[in-house]
């Protein structure tokens, strides 16, 4: 069947016959199978003009789709330059967007989530045809299969980050991952160590080779990678200042010393006497290790090393901490929870949130305030004790002043 006359706003059904068509105006015609086709050159996401077709059961339906395409193109709303599959786009996003811009640990979590969950289940879906219902069904299925709520939230978060980028690249107009409904996360409430618990733990760990590192973590709230990335050139015993500039992280399967990611993370801290003593002790212990290793010593300049001078695996420090906690009979917390413990102790000591933010290397004051506004059992007991004292005129035995 030959092509029919072009439809126009005045004549959407094309009944008045043919007329001359302006360059780039587009066309509407009927195929041999009876379907109608609207065709036009419109702006593509790579900046070129791409010929795009839309289909309809009637001439008017096809024409309406044509005018919508052209209207969007005139507003610089581009169409995808090619039909991306979701798995293909996730690979691109990981390598070209996420990897250069996020922490290596964050990238590792993204990569694992994409590889294990998103690509096997959604990878063949067309990016521009991904719908909320499809994602809702997929995530609900993960929950029914036994995945935890935080794990499924991580899947949604990873996918949403990639699709947000796809929106910026004008490959899609809506991020369907944002519209999925999931059960609220209910993380286990962590009760940080108080000063007495921190003291008892350090007393037990006194003979462990990692004792100086644990002192720094409990005094300053250093991250695991930060304490392992501390170099002797970052320690100034004359001015009693310690600079946090780099961290040990696993990059592409190997340990690497990398710069801390944020400006807030690069900080100088006063070297307190307890930290100074611990570092001097570490220097003596390392000197002995270096002498024993002889030519087998690898000079990295790091404060905390293996017996041959190499960087310590971050997971090894966590395992050492877990063994010490279990052996000492202390209430169990994670190594990372020491940062929360330090923040809580700073709060109880009356340290201003802004100062605590700089000590801990938080990039946003809101992160610090989440801890500072968090009420725990001890502060509740103290507050209620003061209230009881005001009412009954005596201190009692509940922590009131």
Q: Can you give the pLDDT at residue 23?
A: 45
CA distance 139 to 177: 10
- Using DSSP's 3-state secondary structure scheme, residue 138 falls into helix
Q: Using alpha carbons, select from 31, 36, 34 the residue that is nearest to residue 13.
A: 36
Q: Can you give the pLDDT at residue 46?
A: 66
Name the pLDDT band for 1 (thresholds 50, 70, 90).
very low
Q: Using alpha carbons, select from 57, 52, 22, 56 the residue that is nearest to residue 40.
A: 52
Beta strands in 130-216 (DSSP E): none
For the four alpha carbons of 234, 237, 239 and 242, in that order, the dihedral sign comes to positive
CA distance 192 to 184: 23
Judged by average pLDDT, the poorest of 50-54, 184-188, 394-398 is: 394-398
- 322-356 residue pLDDT tens: 999 999 999 999 999 999 999 989 988 888 889 98
H or E element at residue 43: strand 36-43
Q: Does domain 195-333 have CATH number 3.30.70.1400?
A: no
With a pLDDT cut of 70, the percent of the chain lying above it is 86
Q: Can you give the pLDDT at residue 5?
A: 43
Round the average pLDDT of the chain to a whole number and report it: 85
Query: Exposed, middle or buried by CB within 10 Å (0-12, 13-18, 19+), for 146?
Result: exposed
What are the backbone angles phi and psi of residue 313, rounded to the nearest 5°? -65, 130
Q: Can you give the pLDDT at residue 220?
A: 94
What are the backbone angles phi and psi of residue 67, rounded to the nearest 5°? -65, -35
Give the residue-averaged pLDDT of 109-114: 94
Q: Domain coordinates of the chain in residue numbers?
A: 1-81, 86-179, 195-333
Do residues 248 and 227 touch, judged by C-beta distance below 8 A? no
Q: Can you give the pLDDT at residue 22?
A: 44
CA distance 114 to 273: 47
Sequence length of the chain is 401
Q: Can you give the pLDDT at residue 323?
A: 97
Helix axes 211-220, 273-293, angle to 10 degrees: 150
Q: Is it the case that residue 204 has pLDDT exceeding 60?
A: yes
CA angle, 163 then 135 then 90, to 5°: 35
Q: Can you give the pLDDT at residue 20?
A: 40
86-179: CATH topology is DNA polymerase; domain 1 (1.10.150)
What are the backbone angles phi and psi of residue 246, rounded to the nearest 5°? -135, 170
pTM of structure: 0.63
Name the pLDDT band for 7 (thresholds 50, 70, 90).
very low
Do residues 213 and 193 touch, judged by C-beta distance below 8 A? no
């Amino acid at each position: 069947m030959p092509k029919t006359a072009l439809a126009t706003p005045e004549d959407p059904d094309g009944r008045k016959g043919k007329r001359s068509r302006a360059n780039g105006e587009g066309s509407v015609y009927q195929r041999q199978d009876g379907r109608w086709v609207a065709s036009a050159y419109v702006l593509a996401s790579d900046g070129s003009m791409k010929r795009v077709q839309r289909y309809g059961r009637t001439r008017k339906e096809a024409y309406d789709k044509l005018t919508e395409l052209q209207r969007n193109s005139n507003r610089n709303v581009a169409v995808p330059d090619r039909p991306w599959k979701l798995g293909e786009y996730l690979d691109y996003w990981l390598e070209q967007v996420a990897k250069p811009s996020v922490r290596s640990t964050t990238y590792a979590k993204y990569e694992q989530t994409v590889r294990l969950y998103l690509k096997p289940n959604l990878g063949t879906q067309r990016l521009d045809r991904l719908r909320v219902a499809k994602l809702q069904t997929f995530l609900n299925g993960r929950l029914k299969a036994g995945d935890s709520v935080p794990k499924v939230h991580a899947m949604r978060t990873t996918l949403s980050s990639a699709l947000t980028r796809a929106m910026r690249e004008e490959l899609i107009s809506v991020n369907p991952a944002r519209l999925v409904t999931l059960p609220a996360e209910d993380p286990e409430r962590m009760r940080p160590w108080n000063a007495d618990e921190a003291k008892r733990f350090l007393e037990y760990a006194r003979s462990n080779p990692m004792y100086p590192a644990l002192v720094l973590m409990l005094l300053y709230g250093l991250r695991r990678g930060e304490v392992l990335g501390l170099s002797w050139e970052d320690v100034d015993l004359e001015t009693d200042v310690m600079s946090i500039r780099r961290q040990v992280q696993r990059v592409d399967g190997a340990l690497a010393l990398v710069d801390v990611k944020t400006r807030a993370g690069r900080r100088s801290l006063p070297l307190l006497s307890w930290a100074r003593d611990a570092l001097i002790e570490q220097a003596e212990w390392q000197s002995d290790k270096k002498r024993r290793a002889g030519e087998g010593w690898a000079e990295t300049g790091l404060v905390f090393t293996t017996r041959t001078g190499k960087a310590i695996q971050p997971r090894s420090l966590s395992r050492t901490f877990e063994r010490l906690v279990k052996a000492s009979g202390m209430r169990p917390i994670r190594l990372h929870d020491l940062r929360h413990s330090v923040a809580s102790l700073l709060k109880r000591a009356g340290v201003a949130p802004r100062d605590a933010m700089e000590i801990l290397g938080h990039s946003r004051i809101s992160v610090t305030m989440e801890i500072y506004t968090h009420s725990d059992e001890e502060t509740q007991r103290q507050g209620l004790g003061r209230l009881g004292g005001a009412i009954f005129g005596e201190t009692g035995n509940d922590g009131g002043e």
